Amino acid sequence: MTTAAGHTEAIRASRVIGTAVSNQQGEHIGTIEDVILDKTSNNIMFAVIGFGGFLGIGESYHSIPWSVLDYEKSQGGYVVPFTKEQLEAAPHDSIDALTKGDGTGARDKSYEYYNVPPYWM
Amino acid sequence: MTTAAGHTEAIRASRVIGTAVSNQQGEHIGTIEDVILDKTSNNIMFAVIGFGGFLGIGESYHSIPWSVLDYEKSQGGYVVPFTKEQLEAAPHDSIDALTKGDGTGARDKSYEYYNVPPYWM
């Protein structure tokens, strides 16, 4: 797994933001809108993917575990192992709601939905 | 410790980038230029602070452990527990060099210099 710059592990957050996301069927899913960081535990909580909408109106944001994002050089973006249907049915909300309080609500829901082992246990 | 938005733990990477950094003596140190993420371990490797220079020419970048950044609402930015002299003598380089390979070179040097317990052991 390498980043756009050919790195294997170290990735600049500013380069992650704005990167396209597709699924393994080659369908465009959305764009990385932000990465949510945990101040107290040194962990990346989740990525936020924007799924469209017009000028941000009606745009829906999904929290997705960082570890499921694989950078695919040939696609010029991240690939996630989910179908469009799985993603459409996934927990989503406004970014403010996703990062509300300590953000663990959206984090826990997304790890559970995508069946990703929690990093915090 | 709270973010600008009043959160306690969940912080948007896009809001961290560009935030001012000062020390406990109230001296302006620089600006968070980027946050370096570890793709394979779910961890935040380090923050990159820019220390000035003109139009990016001669600008010097320091890698700094994420855990030492405390957000101070009254300052509108992060505060680090180091003197200007400590920071001036700290390891620094271009951002490309800091994130070279897997980024562990710059990470290890900065944790050692600032005497911060490594998260990866």
Q: Is the minimum CB–CB distance between A116 and chain B shorter than 8 Å?
A: no
- Those of residues 65-84 in B touching chain A at CB distance below 8 A are 66-67, 71
pLDDT of residue A9: 79
| Alpha carbons A16 and A30: distance in angstroms, whole number | 13
Q: b/e for A35-61, b at 16 or more Cβ within 10 A?
A: bbbbbebbbbbbbbbbbeeeeeeebeb
For B29-52, how does the pLDDT look when each residue is reduced to its tens digit (9 = 90+)? 899 999 999 988 899 999 999 987
pLDDT at B79 over 80: yes
Q: Which two tokens stand for residue A106?
A: 């959206």
pLDDT at B109 over 90: yes
Q: What is the ipTM of this complex?
A: 0.86
Q: Is the minimum CB–CB distance between B41 and chain A shorter than 8 Å?
A: yes
Q: Is the minimum CB–CB distance between A14 and chain B shorter than 8 Å?
A: yes
A117: chain B residues, CB-CB within 8 Å: none
Question: End-to-end CA distance of chain B, in Å?
Answer: 25
pLDDT at B76 over 50: yes
Among the partner residues A34, A42, A103, nearest to B13 by beta-carbon distance = A34
Q: Would you place residue B57 in the very low, low, confident or very high pLDDT band (cuts 50, 70, 90)? A: low
For A60-90, how does the pLDDT look when each residue is reduced to its tens digit (9 = 90+)? 899 999 999 999 988 889 999 998 888 888 8
Q: Would you place residue A5 in the very low, low, confident or very high pLDDT band (cuts 50, 70, 90)? A: very low
Q: Do B10 and A103 touch (CB under 8 A)?
A: yes
* Residues 6+ positions from A54 with CB-CB distance below 8 Å: none
**CA closest to A8 among chain B residues:** B102
| Alpha carbons A26 and A22: distance in angstroms, whole number | 6
B72: chain A residues, CB-CB within 8 Å: none
